[in-house]
Structure 1
């Protein structure tokens, strides 16, 4: 016979700050048992643990803690103790605060007490931080850092491109059709050697071949050098010499930022993929069409490997933002896309669904059916992502690989009409 889980003896709220934290502990009736201000260091954490132990914190009956953030050393130490930790949205805390005071007074101690009372009253409607493995937490750090590096690289490329449009259209024309644009190593190598159109026009075919080899190109060097030579020697408009030279200096500064962003993205991608491939759930993720090691790592980073985190596939879909929101009142009923969601998970979801269109006949057929039904491109992609998230939830719960035949079963054949005798 299973024993019922004992209710916690008290509830703790921590109002987080940069150099200190306010702590409040309330009992099940709402009476404040203790309050304190702790420092943001090991001594402050030890003081918090001692305070919790004085009010009934036991190894088999931990006092839950509510706080307004899900990251930081304090959170890591609290999670390591095995206690449930709840990250409460600051907007929700503001609403709870208004329940106790209409004068709109606010202080760190009041917010700490409000956080503790949130757990006392509505603990069941909030989700505690997942009990992810150490490897999953490391993958989350790397995957989010790599995604940030990719966004930084795109921003640096856009800044450089905007700058080059002002005075250097030749380099833009030279790499307009390249897959990686200005992020290509050939483009960055040539731009570093010739940061102005005047210097680009002075490059000979021999110099261009040398630069292409330095960039790592091994095929089609002669043809590429001839193409670049022809582009750089076209007739273009120019700024005055000193103005063009100043633009060149600024271009080199922006180019250094782009080089660093590209290097960071590549190094973090390699580290992220290496960590993801070592995770036992990696084969399940990569068995799905359109999911590689990097995109699989980004999804694992956001949903974790705690199987009890989501009670159902619907909860996971809502967290990913793929499930729609229904607003019904009286005779009106409106179905809208979900705005409150995990933005990182939603971003990789659109990439996943788009990539699967060429990898899975079933996914392509599902997308086409949604388009014929009237969905726009984004809506059809979101619907396909929603279906994939349901499949992923099932595969993770049952430790099964993706099966195309089960995921998108073929429709039964239509019966032919009987022929007359």
Structure 2
């Protein structure tokens, strides 16, 4: 016998085990705990199936990704409802003003929240493998890029403290390959000068710096040391080599991510739309595809996209008091994607540039003007998708 209503399950997840609270349509409730392992999750689902043959299981959980989510997605009779932790925090406080909590009680609250709001909640939608791969590659690449930026800033500050002549290389980027290779080979000024001008010139030729080889070699040979204190030089140079080697590894893997993205992009059904956006290169195109999904279904309206990404402002009103503020409750990577896309479009689209300049002429800061432009672009993208 197939139940008309699904079995509702609230799960309070953790690293090693998960508490659950199960609600049947007739009002009966069951509670329990299962471990975070493939076998334990499969066994628990078998138990639910044997107790409720033919049922669909609606599972609410405070996450949209993770080990438990990955395991549950493989079962056709399980529908996952990601729940915003902030919403549950308010529900929890309404029951316990002092803030006390426990895992079994949290699982019960999640199940009750699902029972009351299931018509308003949206089940977790899994995109096609190609879209999911582009999304993961884009997000992981950006994580590596941010890590590289942090390390490059650290290296720049360190060089100024003991080896300032390196700053005179005027590299386009602080993580330029030739600069990192030179620093690893010659971590102190004494070592570089000991090699001699001819050898330095030859070394720069080997780094494909033929045009600047003479200038850089002479720059090194004419440089005066900032400090000759041995402890400072030994410790600083050791740390500089460590950071430079990390940056070389990050450079390698970022290039690999970008090559994978460029290879996969043209295979996506929505590639033509993403590629038509002005000023947007392959990496941002992949992020747009990941943000929008496979097509219809992820966002019901353009406004839902604008709110989910944090681009739409939020209005608060109480009595005569009313004000508009930025929407911070959103996925930061998603907001960043559209904000950057809007900024890039200004360089290639006359309409985008005119709108952006008009916003600035009204006294809006650059970031606010870009966010307003992103708001417009999202309406266009939603219609195109």
Q: How far apart, CA to CA, are the structure 2 residues paired with 1:301 and 1:226?
A: 47
> Is the contact between residue 67 and residue 88 of structure 1 (CA under 8 Å) also seen in structure 2?
yes
> Is the contact between residue 302 and residue 344 of structure 1 (CA under 8 Å) also seen in structure 2?
no
Cα distance 1:246–1:50, how it changes in 2: closer, same or farther (>3 A)? Answer: closer
Q: How many residues align?
A: 381
Structure 1 unaligned spans of 5+? 1-5, 397-421
Give the 4+ runs in structure 1 shifted more than 6 A.
Answer: none
Find the counterpart in structure 2 of residue 411 from structure 1: none
Find the counterpart in structure 1 of residue 235 from structure 2: 246
Q: How far apart, CA to CA, are the structure 1 residues paired with 2:377 and 2:371?
A: 10
> Is the contact between residue 290 and residue 353 of structure 1 (CA under 8 Å) also seen in structure 2?
no
Q: Is 1:299 aligned with 2:291?
A: no
Find the counterpart in structure 1 of residue 219 from structure 2: 231
In the alignment, which of 40, 46, 49 is matched to residue 42 of structure 2?
Answer: 46
Instruction: Map 1:17-416; keep pairs closer than 5 Å.
Output: 17-28=14-25, 31-54=27-50, 56=52, 58=54, 62-82=56-76, 83-101=78-96, 104-175=99-170, 178-180=171-173, 182-217=174-209, 221=210, 223-232=211-220, 233-241=222-230, 243-305=232-294, 307-396=296-385
> Is the contact between residue 24 and residue 32 of structure 1 (CA under 8 Å) also seen in structure 2?
no
> Is the contact between residue 59 and residue 79 of structure 2 (CA under 8 Å) also seen in structure 1?
yes
Cα distance 1:49–1:122, how it changes in 2: closer, same or farther (>3 A)? Answer: same
Structure 2 unaligned spans of 5+? none
Deviations 1:182-207 (A, max 9, x none): 21111112212211122233454543
Find the counterpart in structure 2 of residue 13 from structure 1: 10
Shift of 1:85: 1.0
Deviations 1:117-157 (A, max 9, x none): 11100123333222311222222221111110001111111
Report the secondary structure of 2:22's partner residue.
strand
Q: How far apart, CA to CA, are the structure 1 residues paired with 2:155 and 2:49?
A: 57
Q: TM-score, normalised by structure 1?
A: 0.84
Shift of 1:214: 3.0
Find the counterpart in structure 2 of residue 403 from structure 1: none
Cα distance 1:230–1:349, how it changes in 2: closer, same or farther (>3 A)? Answer: farther
What is the aligned-residue RMSD (CA, Å)?
A: 2.3
Deviations 1:26-79 (A, max 9, x none): 1347x3422221121222222332243245464xx6221111122223212322
Q: TM-score, normalised by structure 2?
A: 0.91
Q: How far apart, CA to CA, are the structure 1 residues paired with 2:93 and 2:53?
A: 29
Q: How far apart, CA to CA, are the structure 2 residues paired with 1:303 and 1:48?
A: 34
